Structure 1
Amino acid sequence: GNKDWLACTACSAGPAFEGGGIEFGMRAAKGAIEDFSLDPLTYEPMIFTIGDVRPKGICGSGLITMVAVLFEMGVINNRGKFNRDLGTDRIRSRNDIWEYVVAWKEVTQIDRDIVITEPDLDNLIRAKGAIYSGCMTLLEEVGLTMDMVERIILAGGFGSYIDLEKAMTIGLLPEIDPDCVTFIGNGSLMGAKMSSLTNRIRKDIVAVTRQMTNFELSETPSYMDNYIAAMFLPHTEIEKFPRLKARMEARARK
């Protein structure tokens, strides 16, 4: 919105970014894998954990980075399926489910291999698709396009740790200028604290809610079309992500 009007919507993204529906998902706590990189020749990973200790799971920000890297390196395709011809023992089938071994059990805290599976990837794609399509649908409903947005505010403890470039790589967010993004941390808690201090702020909150127009995505015809289009990495139309497209084309020429 702007000084004249405000609009909002809610995306039903599920718990994937908080560790839910991910076999080794966990909250952002000590031992959670929060960053990930990959050797482009051997497909061996380098992982970084919160607290710099042995890993025991994957937190939301780590999951986003991991999937972005696996996709850009060609380990998974745009449907979240593993490339089975790479010649690495980290890609394997277990109980008829394909997975990538992020950390062998000998180096974990849990005496089990930590893996990311194709069902994990399916859940992530659904979650990121819901958020991306919610953003696009809201813009369409108010007659705007992404290049008309001047400022984006990311709230929530999780939002503070997102790698913007990786979030754009998987299609969680549209390609935007990172300078347009402001991180504010736990906005709901901050707002509750502020409103408890003065009547003026409480009155401002009431005024904002009265000014807000809410769009129910389930009642918005274009939402499902946008959602289906977003059920790929990063999207069915990679042209919507020109920076990523250029990087992948450059890598393919090497």
Structure 2
Amino acid sequence: MRRIVAGVHGLLAALHVYWATGTTWPAGDERSLSLAVLGGPVSFRPAVVLPLALLHLVLAAAILTSERWKVSRLVVAGLAAGLAARATAGLVWITGAGDMSTAFYWLNLLLYTPLCIALCMADLKMLQARWLKATVVVVPVTLVTMVALVAYVYEPEEQPHPAASADSRYVDTPLARIHYLQRGTGSPVVLLSPGARQQVGAACAVGSGRAGRLELGDSQATAHRRSPGQARHEPRHG
């Protein structure tokens, strides 16, 4: 049993070394590989996958020596706890939290979760203390279940929006609704970044890398080009 479990970790270590070479088999590219293996976009560069390969080798060595060394049995206990947590998370994804249209969902259903359960059970057989066996299963399963309940079941109450202040104003444009605060009197001055475009009612463009002044009226908006020096000396009231 120990040799079989250690062999699985050795195979996983070899697979990570293989990915470190830049090859993305069985996927066509790194993004597809990450989505299939982890369910999200994660880098598979050597700095990421080689430490994982080393970890699997350490786990394989701990499994092979767990019968003789207490430290190895503690490592196996930690491994069993991690596998129990991963198996529980996999069951959560299977029972409704996962997207059935993705490759990760089916790989998790048919391969990842069953493999984690099988390896966890094999690791538990290598442990001698009953309390340790119970702890490495109950604690991670309970924690993952509680996190899943909070993440996927609990719905916090909707918080009311704070009341707008007396000087709050809004400008509706074809692109967005702009919020600003009116302070003082006079026409507002808006400084646009180089190349920016602003639309208020009618389309107004300020280009050529110059700052612009935007005057807002009741039914139209006009934009005036001016040099940065002129914009710097423009009195601002708003």
Does the pair score TM above 0.5? no
Tell me which protein shows more helix as a share of its residues: 2
Instruction: Pick the structure with greater CA Rg.
Output: 2
TM-score (normalised: structure 1): 0.28
Higher strand content, 1 or 2: 1
